[in-house]
Structure 1
């Protein structure tokens, strides 16, 4: 606590003023946290002063609060490019990141508990810099870092504002950050190190060396690529659910109809909502659970006992597959292709359909989604075509991002679909009257096909990798789908030589 208070004082975070000048006073409190290493051992004990942001008033204490963070697909894309081209991957942690942001609004906070100034016991703190807990703290920090990067020649990509590129020299540098955690990569290690030195002169930071653990994702370098796993994160989820010693399940969900809104409501749905929220972040490295998490997320407002049972089934599956993760292979070709599928009227309560797709850069999975469609579909062609349109949007975004990073593929991105009618509609110059309600999707996809920016082609249903994101997969297809999607076991990686 004393170290934190001293850091705040050195940073000139606040000035003491009489309380009469404060139209609104925000409270504060101390928050204590134990930080762990990837293997679960204690790294350090941490105390942090946090403002009670719920005391703030919109328009008075804050105006804009949104701050972008790196998109999961951008993270996987950069890691895939770095692995394929054998770039160095460095990780930084900014000390007291939010304290670096300069506030543009007048915010007044009570003095920290236990550290009241004896000379001015009734004064309040007029904040000069942002502090953790303020609604605009993350935005202020983002603007501060962005200003510094601008001054050193970096520019944010249009596709992802949390990904910055420095391409003024022959050796580009790529920076992506998630709040105060930063990943830096590039083909020239000396230039990367030089920039880290200049960054350290502006911000207090910890150089964590080669990338190994980033926001709950363990990164294991391998002679053949990079292995991404969230094993420790899964252990934490199981511990929160008191299921650390549960019996494992072979699949994420049963093949029987998924629970609907019918059933006895949970007396206290807080645990359900907390666990499902945690599972959404697990989709960062586990596309095999995307469908089940999507289904469970649809009942956050009124979960029932049946939903709790389905959630426990998913956790039991994670218990048995805790060491699965995605493997980004080295020497993967710079070629985009995607698999898209849809489950027509799969929800027997609302008869809505589910769209699923997986996008690959070479052999590396970099983007996937499982999402319920917003409208009813009157035919399997319609639901499959909407899935193709959603996949086309994602592929076009990735193509745009690759172009901004300086990479262009000479091969047209291919979208594999197992519905022949949807494929014919994507290239047919005649607009059918029965597809009027699909006008926007129709013209969008057909335009991209005619331009030659994408290609939609047919594949057999048995080879459709997006099946795992649109419906529960059967036990006998489990291992086949897992391996085809790109998931491997950590034990198989550790059996081979690991570069440490």
Structure 2
């Protein structure tokens, strides 16, 4: 290979072939894939390169695409190259999600979502969809996978007005990887009132195996009901003991008994964005920080969820709930923008349900100065969103709050109730 135009003091970057076997949803080999890549690891940051970028859509974006596709035409899957082809063909790139492209012709539209070199697309006009497929096959060397059945380790089952996402094969592979294929299934994720903390006196666990297990569990993107448990155990990646490892393995035992479960998306007459937010207070024994959690649904189809420890110590349960409301409000704004790009603009304020009246009052009334004067300024952004009618805070009873499972371990009856509400089913 020539080095024309390369300065004498510069070193060339070597190339290597990377081979990968792609499997179908039933575990059979679908195709062999080869990539010629540059050995970027031989470069120095700031010298050989300044930034690294690959077009990767957030899982929330992908689930939102599936939720909208359930209302329209069934999505299809591709393997393709990524470049400026879409812009040349009249697609508009989303400003909120760099891997999302939308093309509009009159009242019809076509949506394309990229994940590195994998692609899903759907639209309102079959002729428009077919034309896009033919143009892509002429322009690039690619494989048409037909109706989407397997994407990023997620199995997809489609029927009229219904799309079901699950990761049964991924869970089976996970059980084999950690020698848990023959384990006894459990009906619960964690024991009630079980507290975890950094304990230097406990027996140390194998850090590599623990990190691999937690990292693998994070990629279960179709099981919102395990999010809090995985998030909680991920806090001990640097100081794990056998108690933490046993709790992580318990999640595997739960998954073995529920491996066929996933999330369901159905066609609905109204696709209104609605949110739920909750927090615990001072739940972390080590630093007394609280946990924020939220869930967002498009109609009744769950598309986004989160469970994470707050950055600051809350001085009251109302403050912890208030900070959780901020996190949910920011997600709501982002989802509104994504939905607008996908031609599902929300014309009314997004309702976010909270089970704490004091925190709701703090979002609406600045008179609560004594309770909020110490809170960092950026957290009061939610007051602006409420005033501008971007969001609307509504009270919900604790027993009806599905976001409760994002912040704490709940009873099995409550756990099953919220699973049903989130349409986690077989």
Partners in 1 of 2:366 and 2:3 — Cα distance? 70
Question: Secondary structure of the residue that 1:255 maps to in structure 2?
Answer: coil
Q: State which drifts further: 223-232 or 464-473.
A: 223-232
Q: Offset at 1:91?
A: 1.3
Hey, what's the Cα distance between the residues in 2 that align with 1:323 and 1:15? Answer: 53
Match for residue 94 of structure 2 among 153, 157, 160: 157
Supply the distance in 2 between the matched residues of 1:60 and 1:349 (Cα, whole angstroms): 41
8 Å CA contact 2:43, 2:49 repeated in 1? yes
Q: Please state whether the residue corresponding to 1:415 is helix, strand or coil.
A: strand
Report the counterpart of residue 78 of structure 2 in structure 1: 92
How far apart are residue 240 of structure 1 and its match? 1.0
Pairwise CA distance, 1:46: 5.1
Structure 2 length-normalised TM = 0.93
Q: How far off its partner does 1:51 sit? A: 4.8
3-state SS in 2 of match to 1:182: strand
Q: Residue 279 in 1 paired to residue 217 in 2?
A: yes
Cα deviations by residue, 1:196-240 (Å, 9 ceiling, x for unpaired) = 222222221111111111111111012341101111111111111
Secondary structure, counterpart of 1:318 in structure 2: helix
3-state SS of 1:58 partner: coil
By how many angstroms is 1:68 displaced? Answer: 3.5
Deviation, 1:389, is 1.0
The answer on whether the counterparts of 2:205 and 2:240 sit within 8 Å (CA) in structure 1 is no
> How far apart are the structure 2 equivalents of 1:474 and 1:453?
34
- Pairwise CA RMSD: 2.3
Q: Which residue of 2 aligns with 1:121?
A: none
State the Cα deviation string for residues 114-141 of structure 1 (Å, max 9, x = none): xxxxxxxxxxxxxxxxxxxxxxxxxxx5
Give the 4+ runs in structure 1 shifted more than 6 A: none
C-alpha separation in 2, matches of 1:485 and 1:26:
49
TM-score, with structure 1 as normaliser: 0.80
Matched residues in 1 for 2:377 and 2:272: separation?
Answer: 27
Q: Please state if 1:53 is matched with 2:40.
A: yes
Deviations 1:27-83 (A, max 9, x none): 555555443221123334556555543222234433321224111111111111111
The separation in 2 between residues aligned to 1:478 and 1:286, in whole angstroms, is: 13
Shift of the 432–59 alpha-carbon distance from structure 1 to 2, 3 Å rule, reads closer
* Residue among 325, 338, 345 paired with 2:275: 338
Q: CA deviation at 1:388?
A: 0.8
Aligned to 1:325: 262
Structure 1 residue matching 2:75: 3-state secondary structure: strand
1:286 Cα deviation (Å)?
Answer: 0.8
With over 3 angstroms needed to count, the CA separation of the structure-2 counterparts of 1:441 and 1:203, relative to structure 1, is: same
The 1:155–1:48 alpha-carbon spacing in structure 2 relative to 1, beyond 3 Å, is closer
- Specify every segment of 5 or more residues in structure 2 that has no aligned partner in the other structure, as ranges: none
Q: Which moved more, 1:22-31 or 1:355-364?
A: 22-31
1:75 and 2:12 correspond: no
1:82-481 to 2 correspondences below 5 Å: 82-84=69-71, 86-94=72-80, 97=81, 141=82, 145=83, 147-262=84-199, 263-264=201-202, 266=204, 268-282=206-220, 284-438=221-375, 440=377, 443-481=380-418
Distance in 1 between residues matched to 2:387 and 2:45, nearest whole Å: 48
Which of 457-466 and 480-489 deviates more? 480-489
Once the two structures are overlaid, the 10-residue window that deviates more, 356-365 or 431-440, is 431-440
Deviation, 1:169, is: 3.4
How far the C-alpha of 1:168 sits from its partner, in A, is: 4.2
User: Per-residue deviation at 1:405?
Assistant: 2.4
Rate the CA distance shift 1:482–1:23 in 2: closer, same or farther, 3 A. Answer: same
1:401 deviates by 1.7
Is 338-347 or 409-418 further displaced after alignment? 409-418
Query: Quick one: structure 1 residues 429 and 261, their matched pair in 2 at CA, closer, same or farther if it must change by over 3 Å?
Result: closer
The C-alpha deviation readout for 1:415-452, integer Å capped at 9, x for no partner, is 11111111111111424133112253563222222222
Q: Kindly indicate whether the alpha-carbon contact (under 8 Å) linking 2:319 and 2:359 is maintained by their aligned counterparts in 1.
A: yes
8 Å CA contact retained: 1:26, 1:55: yes
| Cα distance in 1, alignment partners of residues 26 and 387 from structure 2 | 51
Does the 8 Å CA contact 2:205/2:242 hold for their aligned counterparts?
A: no
1:302–1:52 distance in 2 versus 1, CA, 3 Å: farther
d(CA) in 2 for partners of 1:371 and 1:76? 20
Moved more, 423-432 or 440-449: 440-449
Q: Indicate the larger mover: 356-365 or 37-46.
A: 37-46
